[in-house]
Amino acid sequence: MGAEVVFIGLGTMGLSMATNLVRGGLSVVGFDLMPDQVAKFVAEGGLRGESLAGALQQAKVVCTMLPASQHVKDVYLGEDGVFAHARPGTLLIDSSTIAPEVARQLGQLAAERGFEMIDAPVSGGPVGARAGTLTFMAGGTAKGFERAQPYLQKMGKALYHAGDHGSGQTVKVCNNMLLGIVMIGTAEALQLGMANGLDPKVLTEIISKSSGDNWVLNNCNPCPGVMPAAPASNGYAGGFGVDLMLKDLGLAVENALSTRCSVPLGALARNVYDLHSKAGNGKLDYGSVFEMLAKS
């Protein structure tokens, strides 16, 4: 008998998420283009599949955690892909961050082929993925969301149904646009205070009890030394990369164009991270934008 779950995309996020499904008692077969990632999954108790088509024919659930829209389209629509080989009725959960329009199209195509599909992107990063404390924001039918609960619960702690197909991705895009903007604003405020001789710890403490309080200030403060555990205090390593933020702001700006929405700060933030990335900082935590704003 085949595995209950097929998990495609065992990268930074997917490897931990698939491992949590295994720890939750499920049989999970994992696939990735990188053999090393599959080997790590097998070391955690996951199964190695002979062929993706064969595994899909046996599965009740397919989870995907892939880099971007094109990878997700290839995996679902390709000749050897999910729509071609999974059995009708299979539950399909895509947790990649992709364009809401693509998630809508795939959700509709899935329904036409007799699948139940939800878009279920996540917030919480690699730490949340390892701890099984991700926030899932899902789009699709209420029935699809209901069927996904036992699986999502093993990977996350806050599960939300936002609306129809694509809605989960829309929430994710809105959230990350706001996060990107708030990070730049927080970095600016800290730099301005420091240029006036203030201690950034004192500044952070007072703002955190005032109207400028925000999640970035308290959870990933961009000023080195303010929070020992934050990426800023560790050379901006191990956090949420500038290039990932840039990708998400790109999705926001593209979506704003197609919906004729004005996002002046979202577009400005995308440009700021783009310049920062081009200066060689793409792999650093997005809080490193603090250094870009430093007084010379």
Phi, psi of 84 (to 5 degrees): -75, -30
- Of the candidates 113, 70, 71, the one whose C-alpha atom is nearest the C-alpha of residue 92 is 113
Instruction: Tell me: does residue 14 bind ligand NAD (CB under 6 A).
Output: yes
Choices 2-10, 149-157, 196-204, 212-220 (CB under 6 A): range interacting with ligand NAD:
2-10
Smallest distance, Å, CB 233 to ligand NAD? 18
Q: Measured in whole angstroms, how far is the alpha carbon of residue 93 from the centre of its chain?
A: 14
Please classify residue 164 by burial: count the beta carbons closer than 10 Å to its beta carbon, then call 0-12 exposed, 13-18 middle and 19+ buried. middle
How many separate helices (H) and strands (E) can be counted in the chain? 14, 9
Sequence-ordered list of residues with C-beta below 8 angstroms from that of 137, at least 6 positions apart, any chain? 120, 121, 122, 123, 160, 162, 167, 168, 171, 172, 175
Considering beta carbons, is residue 8 or 106 the nearer one to ligand NAD? 8
Instruction: Tell me: does residue 9 bind ligand NAD (CB under 6 A).
Output: yes
DSSP 8-state symbol, 49 = P
Instruction: Tell me: does residue 250 bind ligand NAD (CB under 6 A).
Output: no
Instruction: Tell me: does residue 67 bind ligand NAD (CB under 6 A).
Output: yes
Smallest distance, Å, CB 78 to ligand NAD? 8
| Composition of the chain by helix, strand, coil, percent to 5 | 55, 15, 30
Q: Which of 40, 154, 157, 172 is catalytic?
A: 172
In the complex, residue closest to ligand NAD by CB:
11
Instruction: Tell me: does residue 46 bind ligand NAD (CB under 6 A).
Output: no
Q: How far is CA 225 from CA 63, 117, 232, 233, in A?
A: 39, 44, 7, 5
The reply to whether 172 belongs to the active site is yes
Considering beta carbons, is residue 31 or 145 the nearer one to ligand NAD? 31
Q: Using CB under 6 A, which of 3, 5, 6, 8 touches ligand NAD?
A: 8
Considering beta carbons, is residue 122 or 162 the nearer one to ligand NAD? 122
Instruction: Tell me: does residue 275 bind ligand NAD (CB under 6 A).
Output: no
Binding string, residues 119-148; x marks residues near ligand NAD by CB under 6 A = ---x--xx----------------------
Smallest distance, Å, CB 121 to ligand NAD? 6
Q: How far is CA 2 from CA 27, 28, 121, 247, 274, in A?
A: 8, 9, 26, 36, 45
Residues in 74-103 that interact with ligand NAD by CB under 6 A:
74-75, 96-97
What does the alpha-carbon distance between residue 265 and residue 152 come to, in Å, rounded to a whole number? 33
Considering beta carbons, is residue 193 or 287 the nearer one to ligand NAD? 287
Sequence-ordered list of residues with C-beta below 8 angstroms from that of 296, at least 6 positions apart, any chain? none
Size of the site for ligand NAD (CB under 6 A): 26
Instruction: Tell me: does residue 218 bind ligand NAD (CB under 6 A).
Output: no
- Which parts of this chain interact with ligand NAD (CB under 6 A)? 8-14, 31-34, 37, 65-68, 71, 74-75, 96-97, 122, 125-126, 240, 244
Hey, which residues are catalytic here?
172
